[in-house]
Amino acid sequence: MRTVSYIDYLQREGELLAAAADKAGELTPVPTCPGWTTGDLVRHTSTFHRWAARIVAERLPGPVPEDPMPDEPTGAGLLPWFRDGHGHLVRTLRTAGPETDCWAFMPAASPLTFWARRQAHETAVHRVDAESARGGELTPLDPDFAADGIDELLTGFHARPKSRVRAQRPRILRVRPSDAAAAWTVRLSPDAPPRTERSADGQADCELAGRAQDLYLMLWNRLPLTAATITGDAALAALWRETSQIT
């Protein structure tokens, strides 16, 4: 996916998040983020928008500690503050050149591509959180964008040593969206992070199939396991659910 497309998705998802949060109200609990209110969600997301914008704009080498979540703002100032930070991030990414050199914490074609992709998916997942607080139907995700988010999660986040997904013996999990030209084979072991191949070759102990949007949100623990069609050992899908949280 092109960098400019990620930035377009980031802009869209941030606008949808703000609209959902406005309708939900600041003090409404977020079902997909137990213990959080919509206000907590908005402050968290905007704090990460500002952190990413600072890294790109100032060409910071890394690692760069995450910015602390602010106690303020609240009330009438919250959503204008969010929109200001979101807009600043979008403008920063649009005006940064492809040669921009700054810290990125996962492999990518360039640091700019990394931050555009990461913030697009960060914002999309939290937009779903805001819509879960608002109630009603979720705004659909483009299947190719959702498949890209699955790829980032499996080949990026869970390739890192800090991934907690482990199996007592070698196991193979397959993820296969029905509406995108992609599939992943995830090899789990007792003592190493998962190893993911972008293919559907060979046998799998468990396969998760369904729309890319549903698989994306299920793998990010925003939808239940029943959002996918599970073939094979359902305990392996449950293991993912129990151990895959990204912090």
pTM above 0.85, yes or no: yes
Q: What span, in angstroms and rounded, lies between the C-alpha atoms of 88 and 96?
A: 12
Alpha helix locations (H) across 76-232? 78-95, 111-134, 143-151, 212-219
**Where in the chain do CATH 3.30.1050.10 domains reside?**
143-243
Q: Which fold has domain 3-134?
A: Four Helix Bundle (Hemerythrin (Met), subunit A) (1.20.120)
**In terms of CATH architecture, what is 143-243?**
2-Layer Sandwich (3.30)
**Residue 164 confidence (pLDDT):** 95
How many CB atoms neighbour CB 91 within 10 A?
Answer: 14
**Where in the chain do CATH 1.20.120 domains reside?**
3-134
How high is the mean pLDDT in each 10-residue block of the chain (247 residues)?
97 98 98 97 97 98 88 90 98 96 96 98 98 97 98 97 96 98 97 96 97 98 96 96 89
